[in-house]
Amino acid sequence: MATTTRMFCFVLVMVLMGCCCSAKIYKVGDSKGWRAKHGSYHEWAKRKEFQVGDSLMFEYDGNVNDVTQVSSRLEYQFCNSLSPKAVYNTGHDVVTLTEPGYHFFITSNHSQCVAGQKLVVFVVHDHPMIPPPPPPRKILSFGKDYKVGDSNEWRVPEESDFYSKWSEEKQFHVGDNLLFYYNDQVDDVLEINSDLEFKSCDTISPVAVHNAGQDLIRLTKPGIRYFITSKIGHCEAGLKLRVVVRPLSKSVPKKMQLSPFDRFIKWLRDSFTPHPHH
């Protein structure tokens, strides 16, 4: 019975996909194309849902730019085009997104990239109606990405405790990333050192300043990290984030659950065996 239902759903999905969900081609930057426009590709990509099979079309002046696909967020963040995954340079490139996950595009023209000519897209599987199988629960899974504030992103929240709630609901570990998305004309991300500075929204001696409008901050060691904005009044209104970073949990297999009786037997054996085997 359940199998029949599942078969039916599967067939239904296939039919729906066949007739409605053909691959799309997105022109990057719409009419502006692919050129340095600070922060705008984030805005452009934000409202779209990319699926496996969709394509990105890059239109630009091939004399001063190209499309350099890089493998990692760090290369993307630092406009590092030294070891690209792929380079396109015809001035009219169509790149098909063949895998789910993050895809990073920059231009190898460094000044243009730094000025904002870079794009990250997140691609989902093209089977939206079939829930993906749950990922294997690896304790040592490395590097989870957290978009700070989720859909609110990094801006003054309606409730002043929004970011503390957001943070408390989660368990951050070494290796995870915080992604700050915000309007760089309004806010920035200052990292500060102490709880005192955090409480008083003290911007005087930050340990790091980020202001690209789209920043990735890697949590590299256990401890507490504090982030605020330098915009007057915004931190006081709740635009501040405190994150507790836990060490990587060791992958110790769970002890077998013993019944009270078994435990008693084990206790007896352990107590009366002179050299217990382990």
Ligand X SMILES: *[C@@H]1O[C@H](CO)[C@@H](O)[C@H](O)[C@H]1NC(C)=O
Residues at the contact surface with ligand X, assessed by CB under 6 A: 64, 109, 111-112
Closest approach, Cβ 89 to ligand X, in A, equals 11
Residues 178 and 218: their CA atoms lie apart, in Å, by 6
Nearer to ligand X, 111 or 160 (CB): 111
Closest approach, Cβ 112 to ligand X, in A, equals 5
Closest approach, Cβ 101 to ligand X, in A, equals 29
Nearer to ligand X, 81 or 109 (CB): 109
Closest approach, Cβ 43 to ligand X, in A, equals 21
Smallest Cα–Cα separation from 226: which of 144, 176, 167, 151? 167
Tokens of 158: 């309606």
Residues 240 and 34: their CA atoms lie apart, in Å, by 34
Closest approach, Cβ 61 to ligand X, in A, equals 7
Closest approach, Cβ 210 to ligand X, in A, equals 24
Nearer to ligand X, 30 or 61 (CB): 61
Cite the beta strand spans of 148-188 per DSSP E: 172-173, 177-181
Closest residue to ligand X, Cβ-based? 109
Closest approach, Cβ 157 to ligand X, in A, equals 38
Q: Which residues contact 120 (CB under 8 A, 6 or more apart)?
A: 41, 42, 45, 73, 76, 102, 103, 104, 105, 214
Half-sphere exposure of residue 168: CA atoms within 13 angstroms, side-chain side: 5
Nearer to ligand X, 111 or 171 (CB): 111
Residues 49 and 100: their CA atoms lie apart, in Å, by 12
Nearer to ligand X, 64 or 209 (CB): 64
For tokens 């949990």, the residue is 249
Nearer to ligand X, 60 or 198 (CB): 60
Smallest Cα–Cα separation from 84: which of 103, 57, 62, 98? 103
Nearer to ligand X, 89 or 141 (CB): 89
Cite the beta strand spans of the chain per DSSP E: 25-27, 50-51, 55-59, 67-70, 86-88, 92-96, 101-106, 118-124, 145-147, 172-173, 177-181, 189-192, 208-210, 214-218, 223-228, 240-246
